[in-house]
Structures are given as C-alpha cells and as structure tokens.
A and B are shown apart, each in its own frame.
Chain A
C-alpha cells in the first residue's frame, strides 16, 4: 500500500530564508505532484514531476524527484510572505495519495 510521508508538518520562517520540504513515499512511482492550498480554497497545481531526476522551478519554488530514493523535495528560496500556505505532495501509483501537508508560515 502506498504511503506518503511529508515533513515538516509545520514550518515558520523569516522572509528571505531558504528552506526545504521533504516528501518520501513507500512504493515505486515516477509521478509526483506538488500543490499549494490557501485557507478555504482548493488545490493549486505547482509542479508535475514525471521522471527520475526531474527538476522544475517556478519563481522562488523548485521541486525535484529522485525515484530511486523515493524522495521529492520542494525548495523555497528567499521566502516571501505571499508564499504562506499549506503545501502538499501527492504520489501517483495508479491512485493519487497525499502527504499530510506542510503548513508554511512566513513571517514578514
């Protein structure tokens, strides 16, 4: 059974700092997604990672996938307050299973 572990679950950081969110999963998959969710809203697709070694960047966010290690990372560079949200990774092993989410709070 596919399990997805995400950490940290909570993160409070200062603007301008860098940080990384980790997503580990238990069974083989080469499709992984990252989403952002603002309070009371649905999910916004950030990245679709489809192969080992995939790296995608959008603004201050960069995501990577290592299928051999079953690990994906979401790296935040020089955080700004607008990035405060909950971030989810989700692994596609036929059905799409979510991690518990990382609630990110960036202090101005």
Chain B
C-alpha cells in the first residue's frame, strides 16, 4: 500500500514550548490530509482536515491557534502544537488519502509528552 511517513515518532518537550510534527506522503500526492488525536485505549478523534494550498478545516472544539496546520505541498502537512501543556500529551496520527486508490493511509504516529 501507499506509504505515509510521520516524524518524529516520539517527542518530549517542556511546557510552554512548541512542537512540530511532519506528515509526508512518500509515493503519492495527497491534496487532503487529516490529523487525529488518540487517547489511550480510545478511538481516533479527528482534529482537522488539511487541504493543500488552503486553510485547514478544524473540528469543533479544536483550537486552531494552538494546533497550527500547514499543508504547503502535495506531499507534506505539518502540525505544530504551540505553547504545549501537559494536557496536550497524546498520540497524534496523520492520514493522507491516495487519490488513485481512494485509500486513506496513516503515518506511524507521534507520541507527544509534555513535561
């Protein structure tokens, strides 16, 4: 299947700092990417839909100023957690839809710990 690469896989940061997570589609061009957050033993909660060249669409309750999403190219979307707090600690996963197969493929996930 198609490959989506997410980096870093694990990050620990101090409260108040910002963290950037990258999501790349390696063998296809993705006009749409999705960012999810997953709490332990829970399902994936959609945070925002990222469209190449335009502003991201955020889900209700997700702070757009805190979770900055940029989709500057057809193969790269980034999520920046600004002024991180311990409650932002979570597993963040990106997904990209392959326009050819219509499958949605996921990155490896980023485990963020804010101390």
Chain A residues proximal to chain B, CB less than 8 Å: 31, 33, 35, 41-43, 45, 48, 50, 88, 90, 92, 95-101, 103
Residue of B nearest to A33 (CB): B104
Q: Name 25 interchain pairs, CB-CB below 8 A, sorted by A.
A: A31-B102, A33-B103, A42-B93, A42-B106, A42-B108, A43-B44, A45-B104, A45-B105, A48-B102, A48-B103, A48-B104, A88-B43, A90-B104, A92-B104, A95-B34, A95-B49, A96-B46, A96-B95, A96-B104, A98-B36, A98-B43, A99-B43, A100-B42, A101-B42, A103-B41
* Given A88-B44, A95-B49: A42 in contact with B1 (beta carbons within 8 A): no
Minimum distance in angstroms from B58 CB to a CB of chain A: 11
Chain B residues proximal to chain A, CB less than 8 Å: 1, 6, 34, 36, 41-44, 46, 49, 57, 93, 95, 97, 101-109
- Minimum-distance CB pairs A-B, first 10: A42-B109, A48-B103, A43-B106, A98-B44, A100-B43, A42-B108, A98-B43, A101-B43, A95-B49, A42-B106
The interface residues of chain A, by DSSP majority, are classed as strand
Minimum distance in angstroms from B53 CB to a CB of chain A: 18
Give the distance in Å from the alpha carbon of A48 to the alpha carbon of B95 in the complex. 14
Please give, as numbers and ranges, the residues of chain A lying within 8 Å of B36 by CB-CB distance: 98
